[in-house]
Amino acid sequence: MTKGSVIPSLGLLSRATQVVWYTGREMYGEATDDQEMVDKTHPTKYFFNMIPVAAQFQNELLPYIYPELAKEQGVRVTAEARR
């Protein structure tokens, strides 16, 4: 990453920022006892998006294997992708 292009580094930095942001929002929701905020944030989803194999598993296989968890995590699959 340090010897490569700037664009992949920015993508990774953007994903890391999302992990920190949504983890902070979930912790704030827990601290203020705001269950709706806690339910809407999915920090594990953003953490898995940082790891290439985990992101592919989460977006492509998880809805088939465990659709309830995918729905809970906010992973959306379009009808075109399911064909």
Contacts of 71 (CB under 8 A, 6+ apart): none
Q: What is the pLDDT along the chain (83 residues), one digit of tens a residue?
A: 456 666 777 888 898 999 999 999 999 999 999 999 988 888 888 888 888 888 888 888 888 888 888 888 878 766 655 55
Per DSSP, 80 falls in state T
Which of 36, 65, 20, 62 is CA-nearest to residue 76?
Answer: 62
